[in-house]
Structure 1
Amino acid sequence: MTLKNEMLAKIQYPLGAFIFNSGMGRWQKWLHDLSMNCLQRAANAGHGQALLMAGQILTHRGVGISSRQVGVKYLRTAADQGNPDAQFMLAQAMCDEALGLKHKDEDILELYKQAANQGHTMAALKLKKAYTDGLWGVSVDETQASYWSEQFMKSSKK
């Protein structure tokens, strides 16, 4: 990221996040559009929090499949940067058949593991369920289910 893009992202992300989180975007369409424009510009510049926020919004609230796929792209970039929330959200998106994402079960499992190993509570719970019910290509494994249940309990007490 160039210095200019970094500076712009540092300005655009807080503005977009403020408008979106305050609910002002519901008042006027142009405010919503401004918020999303700021978030997407910051995300395109590689701003980590903007990638996560724009990814989450577009993946779950995007109009049409193309905007949802842009959201998934943002989540993937943030997940590749090591963001546990993005790793969890990307795994969730991969499980959503409506998005029509091509994926391997191992990819979903790996994303949940990456997030859980960084203390993501819900990712640990998903892994416990995977090993209890044999989801995403894993065999039922009580030892693994117990391990991820313990990780869930540890991370939920933080």
Structure 2
Amino acid sequence: MSPSNQLLASLEFSLADRFYKLACKPGMKLLGHLTRGLMHHAAKLGHQRTLVVFGQRLLSEGATSRDRILGAEYLMQAAQQGNAEAQWHAGSIYEKGLRPFVSSDPNAVTWYARAAEQGHLQARQRLAKAYRCGELGLPASETKAQQWDAEAENPGN
């Protein structure tokens, strides 16, 4: 992203994020449209923080299935850029299966592992549970479960 687009996207995200809570109040429909438009534009420019925040909001609060799919797509884009929070969400998306992302244990494990390697606590905990219970296509292994538990207890690593 060019420096001017990065600056524009950062400003749009900052404004939209500040407007978000106001836009949820009754009688603020126009502000809601403005907020959404700013977020969409910043996300289309590839602004990583927007992709994560707006992606999460659309995925969890989206009024339509198209909103939820767009939220997942934004999160996947941020995950591919290396954002640990988005990688955690990507793992969850693949674990649960959300159109167009079909449920896939190998993809879920890959994304959880990428997030966990960057220190994401929930990803570390999910991998520990998966190894402990033999979930996500992983063999049950108390040793690997304890390794991920130890990593989860040391968030600075």
Query: TM-score of the superposition, structure 1-length normalised?
Result: 0.90
Q: What does 1:1-158 align with in structure 2 at a 5 Å threshold?
A: 1-20=1-20, 23-27=21-25, 28-97=28-97, 99-100=98-99, 101-155=101-155
After TM superposition, give the deviation of residue 92 of structure 1 in Å: 1.7
Deviations 1:106-140 (A, max 9, x none): 11001111111111111100000000111111110
- Structure 2 unaligned segments of length 5 or more: list them: none
After TM superposition, give the deviation of residue 5 of structure 1 in Å: 2.7
> How many angstroms apart in 1 are the aligned matches of 2:32 and 2:92?
25
The answer on whether the counterparts of 2:42 and 2:50 sit within 8 Å (CA) in structure 1 is: yes
The answer on whether the counterparts of 1:88 and 1:112 sit within 8 Å (CA) in structure 2 is: yes
After TM superposition, give the deviation of residue 94 of structure 1 in Å: 2.5
After TM superposition, give the deviation of residue 4 of structure 1 in Å: 4.2
Tell me the amino acid that sits aligned with residue 108 of structure 1: A
Give the length in aligned residue pairs: 154
After TM superposition, give the deviation of residue 95 of structure 1 in Å: 2.9
The answer on whether the counterparts of 1:39 and 1:53 sit within 8 Å (CA) in structure 2 is: no
**Superposition misfits of 4+ residues, deviation over 3 angstroms:** none
The answer on whether the counterparts of 2:95 and 2:104 sit within 8 Å (CA) in structure 1 is: no
- Structure 1 unaligned segments of length 5 or more: list them: none
> How many angstroms apart in 1 are the aligned matches of 2:102 and 2:40?
24
> How many angstroms apart in 1 are the aligned matches of 2:3 and 2:120?
32
> How many angstroms apart in 1 are the aligned matches of 2:74 and 2:49?
10
Tell me the amino acid that sits aligned with residue 93 of structure 1: I
Q: Secondary structure at the match of 1:82?
A: coil
